Amino acid sequence: MNEIILLNISGEDKPGVTSAITSILAEYEINILDIGQAVIHNTLSLGILIEVPKAAESSPLLRDILFKAHELNMHIRFQPVEEGDYEQWVTGQGKSRHIITLLSRKLSSGHIARVTDIAASHGLNIDNINRLSGRISLNEKSDQTKACVEFSVRGAPSDAEKLKAEFLKAASDLDVDIAFQKDDIYRRNRRLVVFDMDSTLIEAEVIDELAKEAGVGEQVSEITEAAMRGEIDFNESFRRRMALLKGLDVSVLDSIAERLPMTEGAEELVSNLKALGFKTAILSGGFNYFASHLQKKLGFDYVYANDLDIDENGKVTGEVKGTVVNGERKAELLREIAAKEGVCLEQTIAVGDGANDLPMLSIAGLGIAFRAKPLVRESAEQAISTLGLDGILYLIGFRDRDTLN
């Protein structure tokens, strides 16, 4: 019977360690059943699971490896593995896999402990842990840092809704974000990202800015908030707010467009997505005038929003031209753009903050509630509240070193 042996090599990371060990294995024509390596703070941990044929005696093989490890000033441990245990491990590889992504400004042991405890309580076994964010200097201010760790887990939760609820509570308690996604081919092949505009790409509600100029700021803000919480139907809230803008002079639009504050991470996210070949779109219940301004600035491929109706005297009429871009229209537009670009919905990402974004969030392959109201955050599949928009890159598996910035 062939022997199965697990080799664990650890010590100061240096070039040539893996090469030196595997070269000895090659001399004995050893089969490698599994291999994994990690480096944390210049310390290497290398694991190799080998199958030693009957024709090769393990004693001289292990002796040679032991001598080489000593020469390299590395620690080594040999662990025999029973064939039955190995076969059971192989069978387990067929289990479904998921990715848990933990995002915060800084990560603590308490964050890791809470997330891994929840995973374990639902029968999820951690296979790999990877840090996606760059190394953080001790001198950096906490409100300027990004930290992200990704856990690859094996198994399926018996109660997915309960797991989601526990992760949501942990995220709220710890002021972190926790995403739980199925690890499949679609997760690694997203192709289209659509965004809401107001309070998503920009840190403002344009209609509220228009209302301030019209002197009806408080009334419009109250209606906007109620609509975002899902308390008022979007079409009704939109009609009420537009009516309050009647008579506003079109000359104020330019100044509003110039002062709209971009959301943290928006420019970094969109520039990286475009460089990586993603198609991008704005699907907004706001106005084309301002969405087009963002399109010119960031280079979006598609823009769909509402057209303000202006009379011959340059005044807002309180109406919009054409079909209102509400929640149902956003979902419809997502389907249309995906079909035009030849991608399936599983390859799409939708990002928004309000109740009127839920229809598109629900049909996208990855729906993300960004700094959203509680109702939206609880209803969406994923949520980001602690980081900027560029945190979305972590949810699709990108490391800081992969990005342009």
Asked about 198 being catalytic, the answer comes back as: yes
Cα distance between residue 367 and residue 380, in whole Å: 6
Q: How far apart are CA 358 and CA 350, in angstroms?
A: 9
Task: Tell whether the torsion through CA atoms of 79, 82, 84 and 87 is positive or negative.
Answer: positive
Q: Which of 177, 198, 353, 390 is catalytic?
A: 198
Instruction: Show Cβ contacts of residue 290 under 8 Å, excluding neighbours closer than 6 positions.
Output: 197, 202, 206, 253, 256, 257, 260, 305
Taking a C-beta distance cutoff of 8 angstroms, is the pair 252, 217 a contact?
A: no
CA neighbor of 366 nearest in space, from 187, 100, 183, 167: 187
The set of residues, in sequence order, having a beta carbon less than 8 Å from that of 87 and lying 6+ positions away, is none
Q: Which of the following is catalytic: 13, 85, 183, 196?
A: 196
Could you say which DSSP state residue 400 is in?
A: G
> Which backbone phi and psi does 38 adopt, to 5 degrees?
-145, 150
Q: What's the CA gap between 199 and 100, in Å, rounded?
A: 26
Q: Which residues are the active-site residues?
A: 196, 198
